[in-house]
Structure 1
Amino acid sequence: MDLLSGQPHWFYKNGVLHAYPALTENLSAEIVIMGGGITGALLAWHLTQAGFPVVLLEKRHIGLGSTSGSTALLQYEIDTMLTDLINLVGEKDAVRSYLLCVEAIHKAREIVDSLQVKTSFSQVKSLYYASKKDDLPLLTKEYEARKRIGIDVEWWDQGTLRSHFPGIRKSGAILSHDAAQVDAYALAHALLQECIRKGARVYDTVEITDIRHERTGTSLVLDNGNVVKTKKLIVAAGYESQKLISRNFVRLHSSYAIVSKPMPDKKELWYENASLWESARPYLYLRTTEDNRVLIGGKDEMFQSAIKRDKLLPRKSVELEKNARSMFPDLPFVTDYTWCGTFAETKDGLPFIGGVKEHPNTLFALGFGGNGILFSIIAAGIITDLIAGKKNKDAAIFSFDRLGKS
């Protein structure tokens, strides 16, 4: 699948951080992770920390799938609002899903603090504003629901919003104190380097072309003819994982992003450099970067054709720059990098974590949606527990069983 086109900022910023070998022989492994993006890296880190020997296989170069195009906003907000999620999955699971995402932000902080290199991680606030006046009652209800379950939020009326963001002429917003941002590409490499130091084996530019389930495990046939035998396969192949499962469980769409040239050297480009997003669907979102750039994305289209997606990139980039200039007319926004990619969402906005009957000895970690990195942290914790034989009380919330028979 053609996941990404254009100039993803994180790769251009970092370049080739580390080289990994190709796999040129048969081998046996207790656990194999399929996918070397941020999800696979988080899984490898959790499992390695727990003492499990891990082999990771990536068909591209490490981090050069969707991870290099991630805008890496770490927001507890699921693409489905809490009030809507309660109606979809019930209050208990909806509330737990939101609280797990809040916990995952703080877990992300702990993880990056334990690493030996910087990954441009910073904790920030998040502002979720009403795109139009008609959205205000829903946003007010959402604020009350979040406040009721203990999430640290404030309500900003039109005057408060205008005083902090003069260019955002909207009627109200929810300010959240729990959010963060990171360089997902750098983080994936940092995690895998730590895993390698602890004995994990990481290979890239090697593709799994066939998965054969056998009585005692799974055999993975590689594009070079070699075979990897494993007791447990973990699929962390992101949006490409859909082709492995017979049931359609995601909607693929196209999204666009641009990054400005560095802004004048000042501590804040706007109020506490909070991440910003809106109630409209599809939504616009903005964040800053460590080197004083502005990243703005959105303008999604509900199709997955890479050809159609790429044709729209020049026009979408112009539109995104206009949006940024409109919201922050005092900032000298000049576009530096533009890219577009294929992304996925689920019906309820929640990830899929766990197994399906058609793939024995296999677990999936599919953290789709706008906060996929946090979902991946949750998935890594759940899957590590399952492999260790521990019961995880949250596993059922994200299982494929919620689709019905799987």
Structure 2
Amino acid sequence: MELYNGDLYWPTTESEDVVLERPDKKEHYDVLVIGAGMSGTLTAYTLQQDGVDFAVLDGRKVGTGSTSANTGLIQYSNDIMLHELAEKIGEAAAVRFYQLCLDAVESLDQVAKDVDASDIYIRRDSLCFASEEDDVAKLQREYEMLAKHGFDVEWLDREALRERFPFEKPAALITKGDAEVNPLTLSRQIIRHLSKQHVPIFEETSVDEVVSDGDGWIVFTSNGTFKANKVIFATGYGPAPLLDSHRIDLNRSYAIATNPIAEFSEWEGRALIWETKRPYLYLRTTPDGRIIAGGLDEDKAETPHDEALMNNRAERVKEKIAELFPMYDLEVDYAWVALFGESVDQLPFIGEHPNRPNLFYLLGYGGNGTVYSMLGSRILSALVRGQSHPDADLVRLDRT
């Protein structure tokens, strides 16, 4: 499956490839982690912290899957607003899920520090504006729900927003505690950290088949056979073997990185920006002064190769940036399209297969894949060590 297409920005920020020595293969592992993108590396990081015996397998060179196309907005707010989620799963459960996401943003900050990547994990506020007047009431309900439960949030009416940003919208929320990241660098730094800790990482080792042997799992790969008591699939938006995918939709989203901008004095705090409309525009800045923006999501599970289409979408995204910040002289330096997964209830799937014991999944479907990967790694680390986790039911695979 082709996860992305186009001219990616993040690889240009990496001056050195990750060089891994081929590890010796043991006869048996307690856990095998399939996938070495963001989901897999965060899972591996947490397992290593918790003293688990495991190895990591990936069919590609590490850090070359959908992580390379990730736009790197780290937010605890979700595509489904807190008050909307409360209507679906109950207020207590919805608030707990949002708190888990906020905790994950904090945990990612610590991970970045631990792997010497704190310079590319930058804390930001987020601004979500009402795309039209009819959305103000919804945004007001979200503000009230967030404030009620202690989340650090600020309400801006039209006038207050106009005083702080160079565009006019009916209203907006500012939420505190989010971040921006270079996802490729973070993922690769985690891999380098794990390698120094002598975690066996088998890249360019594609999985052909996973078969139960009664007591555990046999994983047949391009690099021979691996055996383990448990297997974790942390495969991003790639296929999840042995799992019914009828509740998952794959879509595509377009993104660009602009030319460097001299300064952002009009962009308060260089906040992450998004909106209430669906699909929504999202944008952030980079350390070298670019704007990364995306949107125009389409309900299609394939990446286009039509150059005219790609150019059209890139120009449309650029025009949307210009509507907000007309003072910038913008050019498209990089443009790409990437697949992303969404679940029907807009929550990730994390946990043990309901019918296949000791087979686990971390599927961070939705707009917050990196956040979901962080919180999911903690849940899975507990489960593979034979412990329960108090929040596992929120994201279990067989939820209704």
Shorter chain as normaliser: what TM range?
over 0.9
Residue 231 of structure 1, CA deviation: 1.0
Seen in structure 2, the aligned counterparts of structure 1 residues 187 and 70 have a Cα distance that, compared at 3 Å, is: same
Q: Counterparts of 1:44-123 in structure 2 under 5 Å?
A: 44-118=44-118, 120-123=120-123
Give the AA of the match of 1:111.
V
User: Residues 119 and 186 of structure 1 are in contact (CA less than 8 Å); yes or no, is this contact kept in structure 2?
Assistant: no
d(CA) in 1 for partners of 2:155 and 2:327? Answer: 26
d(CA) in 2 for partners of 1:230 and 1:155? Answer: 51
User: Residues 213 and 360 of structure 1 are in contact (CA less than 8 Å); yes or no, is this contact kept in structure 2?
Assistant: no
Seen in structure 2, the aligned counterparts of structure 1 residues 311 and 29 have a Cα distance that, compared at 3 Å, is: farther
- CA-to-aligned-CA distance 1:253-304 (integer Å, 9 cap, x gap): 010000011111x365611000000000000001001111101101100111
d(CA) in 2 for partners of 1:116 and 1:128? Answer: 31
Alignment match, 2:239: 241
Residue 88 of structure 1, CA deviation: 1.3
Seen in structure 2, the aligned counterparts of structure 1 residues 26 and 194 have a Cα distance that, compared at 3 Å, is: closer
Aligned to 2:238, what secondary structure does the other structure show? Answer: helix
Aligned to 2:169, what secondary structure does the other structure show? Answer: coil
Alignment match, 1:10: 10
Alignment match, 2:169: 170
Alignment match, 1:140: 140
Aligned to 2:33, what secondary structure does the other structure show? Answer: strand
Give the AA of the match of 1:165.
F
d(CA) in 2 for partners of 1:366 and 1:310? Answer: 31
Aligned to 2:176, what secondary structure does the other structure show? Answer: strand
Q: Counterparts of 1:160-309 in structure 2 under 5 Å?
A: 160-167=160-167, 169-224=168-223, 226-264=224-262, 266=263, 268=265, 270-307=267-304
Aligned to 2:205, what secondary structure does the other structure show? Answer: coil
d(CA) in 2 for partners of 1:369 and 1:15? Answer: 30
1:338 matched to 2:335? The reply is yes
Deviates more, 1:362-371 or 1:150-159: 362-371
Give the AA of the match of 2:246.
N
User: Residues 309 and 340 of structure 1 are in contact (CA less than 8 Å); yes or no, is this contact kept in structure 2?
Assistant: no
Give structure 1 stretches of 5+ with no counterpart. none
Seen in structure 2, the aligned counterparts of structure 1 residues 286 and 314 have a Cα distance that, compared at 3 Å, is: same
Residue 308 of structure 1, CA deviation: 7.0
- CA-to-aligned-CA distance 1:176-218 (integer Å, 9 cap, x gap): 0121011111111111211122221112111001011111210
Aligned to 1:194, what secondary structure does the other structure show? Answer: helix
Structure 1: which 4+ aligned runs deviate by more than 6 Å? 23-26, 308-311
Give structure 2 stretches of 5+ with no counterpart. none
Residue 360 of structure 1, CA deviation: 2.6
Residue 338 of structure 1, CA deviation: 0.6
1:329 matched to 2:326? The reply is yes
TM-score, normalised with respect to structure 1: 0.94
Identical positions, percent? 31
1:378 matched to 2:375? The reply is yes
User: Residues 20 and 195 of structure 2 are in contact (CA less than 8 Å); yes or no, is this contact kept in structure 1?
Assistant: no
d(CA) in 2 for partners of 1:259 and 1:308? Answer: 19
Q: For this pair of structures, how many residues does the alignment match?
A: 400
1:387 matched to 2:396? The reply is no
1:352 matched to 2:349? The reply is yes
RMSD: 1.8
Residue 401 of structure 1, CA deviation: 2.3
Aligned to 1:239, what secondary structure does the other structure show? Answer: coil
Give the AA of the match of 1:213.
S
Residue 21 of structure 1, CA deviation: 4.8
Aligned to 1:306, what secondary structure does the other structure show? Answer: coil
Residue 242 of structure 1, CA deviation: 4.1
Aligned to 2:28, what secondary structure does the other structure show? Answer: strand
d(CA) in 2 for partners of 1:72 and 1:383? Answer: 23
Alignment match, 1:124: 124
User: Residues 9 and 337 of structure 1 are in contact (CA less than 8 Å); yes or no, is this contact kept in structure 2?
Assistant: yes
Aligned to 2:273, what secondary structure does the other structure show? Answer: strand
TM-score, normalised with respect to structure 2: 0.96
d(CA) in 2 for partners of 1:212 and 1:21? Answer: 28
Deviates more, 1:244-253 or 1:63-72: 244-253
d(CA) in 1 for partners of 2:312 and 2:3? Answer: 19
Give the AA of the match of 2:300.
F
Residue 166 of structure 1, CA deviation: 1.8
Give the AA of the match of 2:237.
Y
Residue 365 of structure 1, CA deviation: 0.7
d(CA) in 1 for partners of 2:256 and 2:21? Answer: 32
Residue 239 of structure 1, CA deviation: 1.6
User: Residues 35 and 236 of structure 1 are in contact (CA less than 8 Å); yes or no, is this contact kept in structure 2?
Assistant: yes
